[in-house]
Amino acid sequence: MPDYYPDFQCKADKCRHTCCYGWQIPVSFREYNSLIGMESSKDLHEKIQVAFAQPQMVTEETYRYISFDWQGRCKLLNNGLCSLYCEKGPEALPRICNFFPRSLKQINDQKLACCSSSCERVVEMLYERDLLKMIRKELKEEPNIQISITEDDVKKIIRYQKILQDRSTSLVESLQTICLEVNEAEFTRDYEEETDPVILALDLLDRLSEEQSFLNEIYQEVNERYRNDIKLYKEDRKAFEQEYPNWQVFFENVLNNSLLFENFPFVDKRFDDTDAYKGLCASYGLLRILSIGYTRRHNDQESLIDAVAALFHLIDHSPFYYNAHVLVRNGAVFLKL
């Protein structure tokens, strides 16, 4: 597990952009019946009775979704705190609420624990670290995700992490090395194209960011700034790198953490692993343009953290790599951002 994992603790009501907002959280048949039938105060009982919505396709594991109020927030939320947690404790929570943003996978005979970079507290811890280190520690929880890959595939995952953390080269050069190993011919061809990476990034965000999301708010600001004056981006990039001299270390940590979470390059079995470089390049490109563009108007560390977490809501919790593969023909040019 990454060394931050044992120290992770939810910020609860101190979280600026809670994971209890705007997400369809599945609840299993067993969890639903346990919650509906539990003994509780009248106030909590009434909240639970209206807290669920039926999905279009009901399964044992996705029996209900936790529904939203008119503001798009979980109906069990009260002043930033979970009413269920406050009254009944963590044991009463559905597994996904209790475990998020953690992920525990069984990969062949190894167990891998990590957290999603979509959580602002995780991003804060990555910002605070000079290097993302892996450690071994016993955990009580059992993996809920089973992944079977070859031993050569396991070696690839480990190798790409080491390449990304090689600071004898720049972050972009490390990413290029990984991409060349994944698919040298296509990456080289794509990288030589003359497509403007700023426009490419804005177009991809326009297609992927959901209308009612914080990511879309950030995108709209960045789009307004660069769509009609691309030259501004180069000026902003220079200012950003001066104000955040550690940006390469931070971005390295965030991307490396996402590679662990996504099991890169074996992130999506709907396409060939050799196309995974497009998603990696897109991750870097969107990380650059959103961080640089958003901090021009909101020039503080919290805003940088918020922009990064919002982006990884998309990357870590949607078929982002597949979408990048389908929507972006020449993804390698994102590394020019």
pTM: 0.90
Say if residues 19 and 101 touch (Cβ distance below 8 Å): yes
Find the distance separating the first CA and the last CA of the chain, reported in whole Å: 31
Mean confidence (pLDDT) of the chain: 90
| Kind plus residue range of the DSSP H or E element containing 183 | helix 171-191
Residue 189 and residue 283 in one domain: yes
Residue 167 and residue 68 in one domain: no
Q: Closest by alpha carbon to 267, among 118, 145, 87?
A: 145
Would you say residue 35 lies in a domain? yes
CA distance 305 to 119: 9
Would you say residue 167 lies in a domain? yes
Residue 5 DSSP code? G
Final residue belonging to a domain, choices 99, 116, 136: 99
Token pair in block for residue 146 = 């089973």
Final residue belonging to a domain, choices 36, 68, 99: 99
Residue 306 and residue 203 in one domain: yes
What pLDDT is recorded for position 7?
92
Q: Closest by alpha carbon to 247, among 126, 117, 161?
A: 126
What pLDDT is recorded for position 257?
95
The range of the structural domain enclosing residue 252 comes to 151-336
- Taking 70 as the pLDDT cut, the residues of the chain under it are none
Beta bridge partners of 74: 68
Beta bridge partners of 2: 134
What pLDDT is recorded for position 19?
80
Would you say residue 8 lies in a domain? no
Domain count within the chain: 2
What pLDDT is recorded for position 292?
97
What pLDDT is recorded for position 97?
83
Would you say residue 122 lies in a domain? no
3-state secondary structure of 79: coil
Residue 32 and residue 181 in one domain: no
Q: What amino acid occupies position 282?
A: A
Would you say residue 118 lies in a domain? no
What pLDDT is recorded for position 277?
93
Would you say residue 139 lies in a domain? no
Residue 196 and residue 263 in one domain: yes
Residue 93 and residue 213 in one domain: no
Would you say residue 5 lies in a domain? no
What pLDDT is recorded for position 18?
81
The DSSP-derived string for 213-252 is SHHHHHHHHHHHHHSS-THHHHHHHHHHHHH-TTHHHHHH
